[in-house]
Structure 1
Amino acid sequence: MQPSDVLRAMSLSALAYRDIQPACLSGTLLEINDPKTDIQCFLRKMERTLTITFRGSDSHQDWKTNFAFQKKKIPYGNTASKIRVHTGFIDAYKSPAVRDTIHDIMSDEICQVKICGHSQGAALAILCGVDLEYNFPDRDYEVMLFGAPRVGNNAFRKSYNKRVFKTLRIENGNDIVTKIPFI
């Protein structure tokens, strides 16, 4: 990851809170706005690169998602797995309006995927990164997180780190969000 990539991810994460995305950004833009979960996600496709940006908490529904932090098995592979994730985040990400739309856009021509988000958006970016790497392993993934809460238990962290090598997590040391939930 280059410094310019990080600055772009920071800008996109901030822009995700705007109701209207600027036309000056290059590439084809697809907006996901799931009324059921109130998750917003912006997909920008430029040549062979897909950039996925998740918006953070911005509504009452988002806070309901944030506080649904019971542990839940992650839905991949081994059913005897010890991997557990935040129920609210995984349920929001797995919403058909979100996950299925992202999977549908993952054409063979895409060779690089950059995923970013702030706060709740960073949590969704983590889940998206591991999901896409699991289902589309032949791509180059970069995940950039700003103020990300904890998404899963230690078993999830280990599994994520084995799959998604290029992850940058930026946090303010005094930000309580990056230390919760305590799972």
Structure 2
Amino acid sequence: MTKQAYVGFASDINAVIVVFRGTQENSIQNWIEDLLWKQLDLDYPGMPEAMVHRGFYSAYHNTTIRDGIVSGIRKTRKLHGDVPIMVTGHSMGAAMASFCALDLVVNYGLDDVKLMTFGQPRVGNAAFASYFKRYLPHAIRVTNANDIVPHLPPYFSFFPQKTYHHFPREVWVHDVGLGSLVYTVEQICDDSGEDPACSRSVSGNSIQDHITYLGVSMHAEAWSSCRIVMDYAELRYKMDLHGNVVLSKQQQQQQPGLSDQRRRHSAQ
């Protein structure tokens, strides 16, 4: 349907599937760094005190994607009846999928809408999460091990009404055990959206855990001339009590290039 989203009918589960693609591999790290500084900056229409991330909201609502998705759903349901609607996405696509699912329920009055996202960042505050839970009580957010993105934008427990807050329900996929006795569990978290025993119990500093979910590579592979310039596996950051974020990265020892070799040869 578009380069960012796809609407189709899955006959094996008899449902309309709306899929939002993930963040492009070559922009993941820059996008993550940007998320560290994002503030709540938009009031969600019709939901008092609910605030959201303007960029994620606009990426869905203020583009042609929205009209295309609604049109695709209506055409599919016209052909196959009032089948369930499953909305899904990864990374930034997960954030857009969340706004899409809520939009379909609240603004278009569609029923039987389900949502499952992977590696989703926070998209709104606690008030927004409460509304979201009311309209989509069975939404699932799958998080993976130490994936950094579900930790962003940062959550500040001492400002519960002013900070970003996940909506429920999280399912945290991670390994447990010791040595050779390691196995993967899918931990169902509480209905707070911010269960301290789930992904919030770990540091959340891995990009590798963000791009691979359930053994499947999730990132989009569209070409771009812009490349990642930081360590691909881990982004190091820390946060003080005032909410200030400090980033750090290790510089790799570069091999001397041809021009360096020529300069040394000339000096000799």
Fold similarity call, TM over 0.5: yes
Secondary structure, counterpart of 1:121 in structure 2: helix
1:83 and 1:155 map into 2 onto residues whose CA distance is 5
* Residue aligning to 1:83: 50
* Aligned partner letter, 1:63: W
Gaps of at least 5 residues in structure 1 are: 1-30, 34-39
**1:75 CA displacement:** 4.3
Deviation digits for residues 31-68 of structure 1 (CA, Å, limit 9, x no counterpart): 212xxxxxx1111135773210001111649939x648
1:106 and 1:74 map into 2 onto residues whose CA distance is 27
1:152 and 1:89 map into 2 onto residues whose CA distance is 10
* Residue aligning to 1:176: 148
- Choose between structure 1 and 2 for higher RCO, CA contacts under 8 A separated by at least 6 residues: 1
* Residue aligning to 1:53: 19
Gaps of at least 5 residues in structure 2 are: 155-163, 165-268
Does the CA-based 8 Å contact 1:111-1:139 persist in structure 2? no
Name which of structure 1's ranges 152-161 and 130-139 shifts more when overlaid on structure 2: 130-139
* Aligned partner letter, 1:114: M
**Does 1:164 pair with 2:136?**
yes
2:123 to 151, 156, 159: 151
User: How many residues are matched?
Assistant: 145
Deviation digits for residues 67-111 of structure 1 (CA, Å, limit 9, x no counterpart): 483323344325xx2111111111111133111211223326444
**1:123 CA displacement:** 0.9
Deviation digits for residues 3-22 of structure 1 (CA, Å, limit 9, x no counterpart): xxxxxxxxxxxxxxxxxxxx
- Amino-acid identity (%): 31
Which is helix-richer, 1 or 2? 1
**Does 1:142 pair with 2:108?**
no
**1:167 CA displacement:** 1.2
| TM-score, L = length of structure 1 | 0.69
Give the 5 Å matches for 1:110-129: 110-129=82-101
1:74 and 1:114 map into 2 onto residues whose CA distance is 26
Determine which structure has more spread, i.e. the larger CA radius of gyration: 2
1:106 and 1:95 map into 2 onto residues whose CA distance is 19
* Residue aligning to 1:24: none
* Aligned partner letter, 1:69: K
Does the CA-based 8 Å contact 2:7-2:19 persist in structure 1? yes
| TM-score, L = length of structure 2 | 0.48
CA RMSD after TM alignment: 2.6
* Residue aligning to 1:63: 31
2:2 to 24, 28, 32: 32
Name which of structure 1's ranges 108-117 and 169-178 shifts more when overlaid on structure 2: 108-117
Sort the Cα spacing of 1:156 and 1:75 in 2 relative to 1 into closer, same or farther, 3 A: closer
**1:119 CA displacement:** 1.0
